[in-house]
């Protein structure tokens, strides 16, 4: 377990079974690695690509240990793995990124404390452990504000907006009176993300910032390059570098940022894995975020991250299946459209089922083409 370099032909273990693991497994197998996955469900997007799919809950520590014994390094495509499971895996194999980094990134209170202790920019916030904390926080931060659960929140889940007339205690009740973070509301100009990698030797590499648009709290469209001033892009990359080094991180990390209308750059949250906003790197960058993750955790030099051409990615949610199978032929009649489907067997509203990527002379042109292709998916296919 002291080896720093894990050669092709070795086996990588992935905790989690979603689309991020699927695309990671594709990159790993192209580089000659075997892939095992462990998740509570059968026939997962990752499991369909992996050499071995283990179906077990993350809190079955004996199964996690057995899984880790059969691989050379363990990584994540899903950050809400219990700390005990990560510790159990680390008894048997290298775990990259390390458990300490995962522990910070999967819990908003620990995340805020880490960022604040390193002097990194975050929105004004307070920790909520009790009703008294909540009321004191509202008095100090003011409204509007956002109340977010400390754990298990993503895609807008586990958060409630507090307006001038909102009863804070009732809002907290909606979240099950769980530990929370109360954040001041930010008047947004845009949301961006930076995906960085850090290798075993401490080397770092960064994709240029991505420009993200959300719908109903779920990422809808990503553009590259982001339409932001050079100094904002520089600062976002430098913050990402500081986080990678502060966590002694090995692997891929995404940081989501708010860019306020007053020019401030603020960290929203950390994702200790590949990220939805980086899906376009599969087609549009010299090295994808998934290949970069393989390189980093296996101890190899990091790849070039340059953008080959401006690009856009649009998510495909289960809503597109509401009236039957989407019209794939209509979208693929646009020869510049790249379709990625995740192999999920059932579609439901809000579920990420796939994405489209388009490259073009400008990011705006790529966006327009990608959105047009998504609209075509809703057109009726000709009958035979």
What are the domain boundaries of the chain?
Answer: 11-95, 124-184, 186-306, 309-384
Is the alpha carbon torsion for 80, 84, 89, 94 positive or negative? Answer: positive
d(CA 250, CA 97) in angstroms, rounded, equals: 5
For 279-298, what is the mean pLDDT?
Answer: 98
pLDDT in tens, 132-160: 999 999 999 999 999 999 987 665 578 89
Q: Do domains 186-306 and 309-384 have the same CATH topology?
A: yes
Fold of 124-184: Dna Ligase; domain 1 (3.30.1490)
Query: Which pair of structure tokens corresponds to residue 91?
Result: 């008894």
- Beta-bridge partners for 196: 206, 253
d(CA 377, CA 373) in angstroms, rounded, equals: 7
Q: Is the peptide bond before 213 cis (omega within 30 degrees of 0)?
A: no
Task: Map residue 221 onto helix, strand or coil.
Answer: strand
Using a pLDDT cut of 90, give the percent of the chain over it: 91
d(CA 232, CA 341) in angstroms, rounded, equals: 33
User: What is the model's pTM?
Assistant: 0.94
d(CA 205, CA 18) in angstroms, rounded, equals: 25
Query: Which pair of structure tokens corresponds to residue 125?
Result: 């916030």
pLDDT in tens, 330-352: 999 999 999 999 999 899 999 99
Q: Is the peptide bond before 118 cis (omega within 30 degrees of 0)?
A: no
Q: What's the CATH architecture for 11-95?
A: 3-Layer(aba) Sandwich (3.40)
Around Cβ 348, how many Cβ atoms within 10 Å? 12
Does the pLDDT value for residue 17 go beyond 50?
yes
d(CA 160, CA 175) in angstroms, rounded, equals: 8
The pLDDT, as a whole number, for residue 2 is 42
CATH (residue range 186-306): 3.30.470.20
Fold of 309-384: D-amino Acid Aminotransferase; Chain A, domain 1 (3.30.470)
**Residue 135, C-beta contacts closer than 8 angstroms, at least 6 positions apart:** 168, 169
């Amino acid at each position: 377990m002291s080896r720093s370099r894990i050669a092709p032909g070795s086996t990588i273990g992935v905790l989690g079974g979603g689309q991020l693991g699927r695309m990671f497994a594709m990159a790993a197998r192209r580089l000659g690695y075997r892939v095992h996955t462990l998740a509570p469900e059968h026939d997962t997007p990752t499991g369909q690509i992996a050499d071995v799919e283990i179906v077990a809950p993350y809190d079955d520590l004996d199964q996690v240990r057995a899984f880790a014994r059969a691989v050379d390094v363990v990584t994540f495509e899903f950050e809400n793995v219990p700390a005990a499971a990560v510790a159990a895996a680390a008894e048997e194999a290298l775990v990259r990124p390390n458990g300490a980094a995962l522990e910070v990134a999967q819990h908003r209170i620990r995340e805020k404390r880490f960022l604040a202790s390193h002097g990194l920019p975050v929105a004004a916030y307070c920790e909520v452990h009790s009703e008294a904390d909540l009321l004191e926080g509202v008095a100090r931060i003011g409204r509007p504000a956002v109340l977010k659960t400390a754990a298990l929140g993503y895609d807008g889940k586990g958060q409630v907006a507090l307006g001038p007339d909102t009863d804070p205690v009732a809002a907290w009740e909606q979240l099950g009176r769980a530990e929370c973070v109360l954040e001041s509301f930010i008047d947004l100009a845009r949301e961006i993300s930076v995906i960085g990698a850090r290798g075993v030797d401490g080397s770092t590499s960064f994709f240029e910032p991505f420009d993200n648009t959300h719908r109903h709290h779920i990422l809808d469209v990503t553009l590259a390059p982001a339409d932001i001033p050079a100094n904002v892009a520089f600062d976002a990359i430098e913050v990402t570098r500081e986080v990678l080094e502060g966590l002694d991180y090995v692997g891929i990390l995404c940081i989501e940022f708010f860019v306020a209308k007053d020019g401030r750059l603020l960290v929203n949250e950390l994702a200790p894995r590949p990220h939805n906003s980086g899906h376009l790197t599969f087609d549009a960058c010299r090295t994808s975020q998934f290949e970069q993750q393989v390189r980093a955790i296996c101890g190899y030099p990091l790849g070039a991250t340059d953008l080959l051409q401006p690009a856009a990615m649009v998510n495909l949610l289960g809503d597109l299946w509401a009236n039957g199978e989407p019209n794939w032929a209509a979208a693929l009649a646009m020869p510049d459209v790249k379709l990625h489907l995740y192999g999920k067997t059932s579609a439901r509203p809000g579920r990420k089922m796939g994405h489209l990527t388009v490259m073009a002379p400008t990011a705006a042109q790529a966006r327009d083409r990608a959105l047009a292709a998504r609209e075509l998916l809703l057109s009726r296919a000709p009958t035979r």
